């Protein structure tokens, strides 16, 4: 395990907040949109989720790194975040099956981070001021950091799915009974695992693949994945979903896929104040009245005007802020949710949605 001597690091936010701490990961300078995740576990899954591409993550749990990293916990082939902000950082890990330390993991991936800072204060600041760009660096000159921070693009208006998606099609669950064409907008590996475990042969296509090209494979249904970026600038994906809906086959979307499906039905999306990111978001299932404790990761949301649409039936709402969490398309075999059912096992499990998708295909 690599050991790092204590090095200074600095965090600068767009609104001028300037914080000194200890450098972790690689010594460098990196910027991105700063946001926080309230999950108490699963830091490796967060860092490797393509939906976090280009973002600086603040972990609200106070101890990070204490159980190391494990290859099978990866949600993609490598970390996707731009930077990391934590309170207490442990280079020593105790998990018996860990493959290595978080420090080695971050250094090898070139991820810049800062520790020994008051993450509670930073989270309260973001909740009050809203999501914004930030930069982490070992450079102490605030004015120089301001110049670098000004070069970091805003997440609003960015198309990123084509950056993080697969370059060429591949298959997961080759011998599966149901052929599922997966439009990769930044998919997590655990989503594909949940589909394969239910007898699906998933062919994963790059984000900008046309409906016509996917239909050549003669799939039984379509899955539209999660991913990073602004759905309002993804007209190519909206056009693909319109074609899928017209084709009449079963369709299931998660997170960004949920937002793109809404736009395909004429419903707009918007940038949230500070987004939903964590493992503990309560969502009401309007079909049966139950509350589901969900995993979420999104900075954009479907407009509440969806409630007025004749094309849509609302199925899930967020109990914290009443935002749209799920819907079905009337007269079509299509539905979507904003949260991540693959990441919510337990007594309030939302993985039944994958089963619902299979039932829809079979019907």
Q: Is 255 a catalytic residue?
A: yes
- Closest-CA residue to 257 (of 324, 352, 335): 335
H helix or E strand, kind and range, residue 295: strand 291-302
Q: What is the pLDDT along the chain (363 residues), one digit of tens a residue?
A: 555 568 999 999 999 999 999 999 999 999 999 999 999 999 999 999 999 999 999 999 989 999 999 999 999 999 999 999 999 999 899 988 999 999 999 999 999 999 999 999 999 999 999 999 999 999 899 999 999 999 999 999 999 999 999 999 999 999 999 999 999 999 999 999 999 999 999 999 999 999 999 999 999 999 999 999 999 999 999 999 999 999 999 999 999 999 999 999 999 999 999 999 999 899 999 999 999 999 999 999 999 999 999 999 999 999 999 999 999 999 999 999 999 999 876 655 899 999 999 999 998
Residue 206 near residue 162 (C-beta atoms within 8 A):
yes
Q: Is 276 a catalytic residue?
A: no
* Tokens at 362, concatenated: 């079979």
Structurally, at CATH architecture level, domain 161-362 sits in 3-Layer(aba) Sandwich (3.40)
**For the chain, what are the domain ranges?**
8-149, 161-362
| Location of structure tokens 């998990």 | 95
pLDDT of residue 101: 96
Identify the CATH class of 8-149.
Answer: alpha beta
C-alpha–C-alpha distance, residues 45 and 68, integer Å: 12
Q: Is 340 a catalytic residue?
A: yes
- Same fold across 8-149 and 161-362: no
- Closest-CA residue to 306 (of 296, 317, 298, 294): 317
Residues in the chain: 363
In degrees and rounded to multiples of 5, residue 210 shows phi and psi of: -80, 160
Task: Write the DSSP assignment of 150-187 as a string of letters.
Answer: TTSPPSTT-B-HHHHS-SS-EEESTT-SEEEEEE-SS-
C-alpha–C-alpha distance, residues 297 and 191, integer Å: 14
For residue 85, the Cα-to-chain-centroid distance in whole angstroms is 18
Name the catalytic one among 165, 202, 255, 301.
255
Helix (H, G, I), strand (E, B) or coil at 140: coil
pLDDT, one tens digit per residue, over 249-299 is 999 999 999 999 999 999 999 999 999 999 989 999 999 999 999 999 999
Name the catalytic one among 258, 281, 298, 340.
340
pLDDT, one tens digit per residue, over 261-274 is 999 999 999 999 99
Name the catalytic one among 33, 75, 159, 342.
342
Q: How many CA atoms lie within 13 Å of 346's alpha carbon, on the beta-carbon side?
A: 11
């Amino acid at each position: 395990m690599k050991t790092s001597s204590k090095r200074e690091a600095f965090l600068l936010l767009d609104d001028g907040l300037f914080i000194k701490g200890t450098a972790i990961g690689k010594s460098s300078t990196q910027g991105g949109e700063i946001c926080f995740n309230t999950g108490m576990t699963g830091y490796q899954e967060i860092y490797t989720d393509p939906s976090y591409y280009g973002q600086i993550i603040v972990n609200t749990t106070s101890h990070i790194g204490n159980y190391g990293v494990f290859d099978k916990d990866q949600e993609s082939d490598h970390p996707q975040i731009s930077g990391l902000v934590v309170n207490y950082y442990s280079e020593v890990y105790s998990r018996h099956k860990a493959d290595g330390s978080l420090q080695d993991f971050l250094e090898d991936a070139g991820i810049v981070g800062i520790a020994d800072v008051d993450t509670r204060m930073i989270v309260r600041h973001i909740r009050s001021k809203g999501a914004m760009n930030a930069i982490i660096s070992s450079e102490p000159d605030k004015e120089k950091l301001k110049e670098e921070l000004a070069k970091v693009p805003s997440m609003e208006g960015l198309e990123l799915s084509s950056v993080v998606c697969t370059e060429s099609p591949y298959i997961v669950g080759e011998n599966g009974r149901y052929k599922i064409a997966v439009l990769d907008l930044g998919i997590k590996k655990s989503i594909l695992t949940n589909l394969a475990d239910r007898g699906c042969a998933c062919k994963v296509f790059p984000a900008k693949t046309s409906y016509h090209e996917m239909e050549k494979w003669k799939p039984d249904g379509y899955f539209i994945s999660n991913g990073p970026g602004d759905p309002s600038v993804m007209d190519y994906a909206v056009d693909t979903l319109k074609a899928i809906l017209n084709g009449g086959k079963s369709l299931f979307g998660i997170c960004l896929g949920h937002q793109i499906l809404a736009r395909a039905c004429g419903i707009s999306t918007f940038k949230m104040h500070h987004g939903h990111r964590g493992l503990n978001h309560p969502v009401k299932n309007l079909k049966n009245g139950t509350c589901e404790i969900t995993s979420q990761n999104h900075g954009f949301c479907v407009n509440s005007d969806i409630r007025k649409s004749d094309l849509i039936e609302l199925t899930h709402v967020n109990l914290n802020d009443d935002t749209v969490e799920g819907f079905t398309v009337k007269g079509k075999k299509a539905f979507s949710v904003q949260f991540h059912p693959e990441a919510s096992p337990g007594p309030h499990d939302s993985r039944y949605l994958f089963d619902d998708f299979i039932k829809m295909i079979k019907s």
